[in-house]
Amino acid sequence: MHEPQDDTKTILIVGDPALSRSLMQLVLNKLQYAVCCASTAAEARRAARRTPFALVLVALNLPDGSGLELGAWLRREIRALDGIPILVFGDAWDEARARDACKEAGLQGYLAKPLSIGRLLGTIRELTQQGGGETVEPERPLPFHGQELMAPPMDLDRLAEIADGDRQLIVEIGSLYLATAARYLEEMRRALASAPELRRLAHALKGASRNVGAERVAELAEAAERNGIDAAGLVRLEHRVEEVRRFFEETLGAGEHNGAAG
């Protein structure tokens, strides 16, 4: 678990997959929020006892229990969280039931996936009263988009939304995505004989790709999650990720920021 040095406007993120946690941490840190990440309910309970948080985001499903149960426990047991927004997010079979459960537990609400980071940032700003902000996704064109391309492999306007128009942050987010996608692909190649592990990795790659607007990669990853994937299919997926890398580097001149692929 990573804890910030300064607890002013500190947000606790619990149980989200590694890429989304890293991406949210990068974006929120750049926007002057401090971030504490916990992988499990047990880590979150320990953190909540010693750190004053401005907002808590809890994944619906945690490795050691239910996010709803953790949210209810935090609301009931941690006095410092009185009046502090606690939100649950994830994939629920019955979203209406999940929202009702959040309301009964005294939580601020349930956010269904796929969860746009732009929309989530608007919600965080509104609930923490830092910079106001709408809870809808802003439409922000890239000021440096250059020549329009037909159906680009990565939606740079989506990155501009997430980064609040900050070019350097756009480069960092895209680079984080590319490095993490490469790691997922490497793990998928090692797991070709394990259907459950392939589905897990394909699901993670799908969510990461949707977050940054890499829709072609997301579509192939979704098909792999649903139907499985063989070596030839994995090569096609690798080619899609490479398309994103080339587009990103050519459009932003970002090659030097991408770091190691593994």
* Domains defined along the chain, listed by start: 10-128 (3.40.50.2300), 156-257 (1.20.120)
pLDDT at 167: 84
- pTM tops 0.95, yes or no: no
Closest CA relative to residue 175, chosen from 32, 25, 23, 34: 23
Structure confidence at residue 33 (pLDDT):
86
According to the model, what pLDDT value does residue 12 have? 93
pLDDT in tens, the chain (262 residues): 444 444 468 999 998 776 677 887 888 887 778 889 899 999 999 999 998 899 999 999 899 999 999 999 999 999 999 989 999 988 777 888 888 999 999 999 888 876 667 777 778 888 887 543 333 333 333 333 333 334 688 888 888 877 777 888 888 888 999 999 999 999 999 999 999 999 999 998 998 898 888 999 999 999 999 999 999 999 999 999 999 999 988 887 755 444 433 3
pLDDT attached to residue 164: 75
